[in-house]
């Protein structure tokens, strides 16, 4: 029997959040945390969480499992369970909508701020804008982000200033467009980032790197942005 303790909160009926205990019989199998959530939902239909692809592609089921953020669907019990206990909480730092479902508004607002689309005013060629294989390689480790928010919600700098600090996810994408040879808005992008909060609130703690389910490295991208800012300054 696996003992699961899960964060419950329904703002309409509960005056405060509380932890609910579940006993789940996994029949000794090493299933994913998301499977355990399904079993719990069979016991209590009211339990709310997000999921869609259930294979680590959509980024919907980011949550805090025994103190560490990750995707429930690709996290096997053997990786997180300690002493037969599992504690599930919503991603830290964002407002809770219900149980494990958080309001990602601030996270998306920061993503929107870095203008996550290619900007190029030269007329497009007949077929497509070409890029050398070397230039294309620069986007590896950047474009794979699925915006699950595991990184930003494990970042203390994002907890304190989610309205001003772009956060690791947004900054990884900021660099994805700064590094793209087809993008022409480099100067404008950098100008938007040089204040004391947007990039520089990063303290290099690397919580983001340690939780990213896609194995990406936002801290390195942030370092690259800093280098570009420095190179562009006088």
Partner 1 sequence: MVTNITSFGRSGLSDWLIQRVSALILAVYTLFMVGYLLFNPGLDYAAWSGLFSATWMRIFSLLAFVSLAAHAWVGLWTVTTDYLKPTAVRIAVQLVVILAIFVFLVWGIQVLWGA
What residues make contact with partner 1 under the rule CB under 8 A? 157, 160-161, 164, 191-201, 226, 229-230, 233
User: Are the beta carbons of 48 and 25 closer than 8 angstroms?
Assistant: no
User: Are the beta carbons of 48 and 88 closer than 8 angstroms?
Assistant: no
Of 23 and 52, which CB lies nearer to ligand FES in the complex structure?
A: 52
Instruction: HSE, CB side, 13 Å, CA atoms: give it for residue 178.
Output: 24
Of 96 and 222, which CB lies nearer to ligand SF4 in the complex structure?
A: 222
Binding mask 66-85 for ligand FES (x = CB under 6 A): -----x-x------------
What residues numbered 120-159 form the site for ligand SF4, per CB under 6 A? Answer: 145-151, 155, 157
E strands within the chain?
2-8, 18-24, 62-65, 68-71, 85-89, 96-98, 101-102
| Residue 57 Cβ vs ligand FES, minimum distance, rounded to whole Å | 6
Q: What is the DSSP letter of 91?
A: P
| Residue 157 Cβ vs partner 1, minimum distance, rounded to whole Å | 8
Q: What is the DSSP letter of 3?
A: E
Instruction: Tell whether residue 172 is a contact of ligand SF4 (CB under 6 A).
Output: yes
Binding mask 150-189 for ligand FES (x = CB under 6 A): ----------------------------------------
3-state helix, strand, coil in the chain (%, to 5): 35, 15, 50
Residue 56 interacts with which of ligand SF4, ligand FES, partner 1, none, CB < 5 to 8 Å by class: ligand FES
Q: Of the listed pieces 46-54, 94-102, 124-132, 155-163, which binds ligand FES according to CB under 6 A?
A: 46-54
Residue 130 interacts with which of ligand FES, ligand SF4, partner 1, none, CB < 5 to 8 Å by class: none
Candidates 2, 31, 39, 58; binder of ligand FES (CB under 6 A) is 58
Say what the alpha-carbon torsion angle 7, 9, 15, 17 is, to the nearest 10 degrees.
Answer: 20
Beta strands at 85-89 and 2-8: parallel, antiparallel or unpaired: parallel
| Residue 45 Cβ vs ligand FES, minimum distance, rounded to whole Å | 19
Tokens of 166: 């772009």
CA 43 to chain centre: 29
Instruction: Tell whether residue 59 is a contact of ligand FES (CB under 6 A).
Output: yes
What does the alpha-carbon distance between residue 74 and residue 95 come to, in Å, rounded to a whole number? Answer: 24
- Give the footprint of ligand FES on this chain (CB under 6 A): 51-54, 56-61, 71, 73
């Amino acid at each position: 029997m696996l003992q699961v303790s899960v964060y419950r909160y329904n703002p309409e009926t509960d005056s405060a959040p509380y932890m609910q205990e579940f006993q789940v019989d996994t029949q000794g199998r090493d299933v994913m945390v998301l499977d355990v959530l399904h079993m719990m939902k069979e016991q209590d239909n009211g339990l709310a969480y997000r999921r869609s692809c259930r294979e680590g592609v959509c980024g919907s089921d980011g949550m805090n499992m025994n103190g560490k953020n990750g995707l429930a669907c690709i996290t096997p019990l053997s990786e997180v369970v300690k002493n037969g206990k599992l504690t599930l909480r919503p991603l830290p730092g964002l407002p809770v909508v219900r149980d494990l479902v958080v309001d990602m508004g601030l996270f998306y607002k920061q993503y929107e701020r870095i203008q996550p689309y290619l900007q190029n005013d030269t007329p497009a060629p007949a077929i497509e804008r070409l890029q050398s294989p070397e230039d294309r390689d620069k986007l590896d480790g950047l474009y794979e982000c699925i915006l699950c928010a595991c990184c930003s919600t494990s970042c203390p700098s994002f907890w304190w200033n989610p309205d001003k600090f772009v956060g690791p996810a947004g900054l990884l994408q900021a660099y994805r467009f700064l590094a793209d040879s087809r993008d022409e808005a480099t100067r404008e992008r950098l100008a938007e980032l040089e204040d004391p909060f947007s990039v520089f609130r990063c303290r290099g703690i690397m919580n983001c790197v340690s939780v990213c389910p896609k194995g990406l490295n936002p801290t390195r991208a942030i370092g690259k942005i800093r280098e570009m800012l420095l190179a562009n300054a006088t």
